Every structure is written in structure tokens, then in C-alpha cells.
Amino acid sequence: MKSYTLRASQLVITLGLLFLISGCNPTVTRVETDSVTDLSGNWNDTDSRLVAQEMIQDVLSRSWLSKFNRDQGKAPTVIVGTVRNLSHEHINTRTFVADMERELINSGEVEFVASADDRKEVRSEVKEQDLHASEETRKAMGNEVGADFMLQGSINSIVDAVSGEQARFYQIDLTLIELGTNRKVWLGQKKIKKTVEKGGFRL
């Protein structure tokens, strides 16, 4: 009888351990990269992609572009500067900048030059070529294309919470500035509002 009770106890413990182990293993499901996946209510890849698409479409539809084309007889050259994260949460603004760069380049409406960080690496390569590459293939210093406009911006947020429910408001402000004159030729703004329920939210 004791042996039977012992075996039964061991079986219960074993089954309990197996249940706990299986519960700790995550279930992973692959989804399309453009699908909407709002899990925590935080800023995510969907916000970055959709905001970039909408704001770049807006900046390219405004009169500054046609005026520059008419006055200069060419497409403007644009660079994306700093997008500051002033929100309550950690946001990787590099992905947002990359989304905007892609939308600008793929539009075909503007020329695009490398960012300050990218230029450092490119300039280092040109210096290396000056020493080691053949005369026919080396690239000379001083031939960079200067940008006509810089796109800068910020991401701000406001959080309002009560009784297990939270409202998160994001405001994205972008400014296109003409280099040399510092004139602001376009101001863009996008607002996002989300609600998160049942007390599981984190700031």
C-alpha cells in the first residue's frame, strides 16, 4: 500500500513538473511583417511604418517641392537628421528614420544623401582608396553632393491611466528645413491614440 501511494505521489509530481515545463515554453507563430501586432500598447513597428508612409506622402505633396523643381530645375537633395524621442518609453528611433529614408528614396521625387554617421565610414573608404586603389578606380575627395533640405523631428507622448485602464497618446512632429537659409518649408504632424485595459500595462 505504501509502495502504491509512493508511486502515485511520484506520478502526480512528475505530471505537475511536465505541466509547469510545458507552460514555460513559448508558442511562436510567424506572421506577415506588415501585419498589425499591438501587444503591449507601446510604440511598435506598425506605428513606425505607417507614420513614416503617411508623413512622407504628405511632405512630398506640398508646394515646396514643385517650387524647388521650378526654381532650380532639378529634384531637391534631402537628408534625414535627428528624430528625438521625448516620449515616456524607450523608442528605437533608428527604425523610424530608416522607414522615412526608404519612403523618400523609393518615391523618386527627391535625391537622397547619406547621414552624418554614414558619411564618416564613406569618407574613410575614400581615403583608403586614395592610398591603395588604382588611378582608374579611386574616387576623389571633395565630390560629395550637398543636401538642400534636412528633415528633423520628435516623438512625444502623454499617458493617462485610471482603474486598470490606460490611454496612450503619441504625437510625431517633423520639420523640413532649407539648409543655408534655415527656412522651415514644411511642418508635419501625426497623432496616435491607444487604450490598454485590465491592469497589465507597464510604463
Is residue 93 assigned to a domain?
yes
What is the per-residue pLDDT for 5?
A: 61
Is 0.85 topped by the overall pTM?
no
Residues 6+ apart with CB under 8 A from 166: 41, 159, 160, 195, 196, 197, 201
Whether 76 maps to a domain, the answer reads yes
Does some domain include residue 120?
no
pLDDT bucket at 8, cuts 50 / 70 / 90: low
User: CATH number for the domain including 165?
Assistant: 3.40.50
Output the nine-digit C-alpha cell for 36. Answer: 498589425
* Residue-range definition of the domain harbouring residue 170: 41-115+145-197
Does a structural domain hold residue 64? yes
- Convert the pLDDT of each residue in 140-165 to its tens digit: 888 889 999 999 999 999 998 888 78
* pLDDT digit string, tens, across residues 53-85: 999 999 999 999 999 999 999 999 999 999 999
Number of domains in the chain: 1
Whether the per-residue pLDDT at 1 is higher than 60: the answer is no
In a domain, 1, yes or no: no
Residue 49 lies in a domain: yes
- Domain assignment present for residue 109? The answer is yes
In the three-class reduction of DSSP (H, G, I as helix; E, B as strand; rest coil), residue 76 is classed as coil
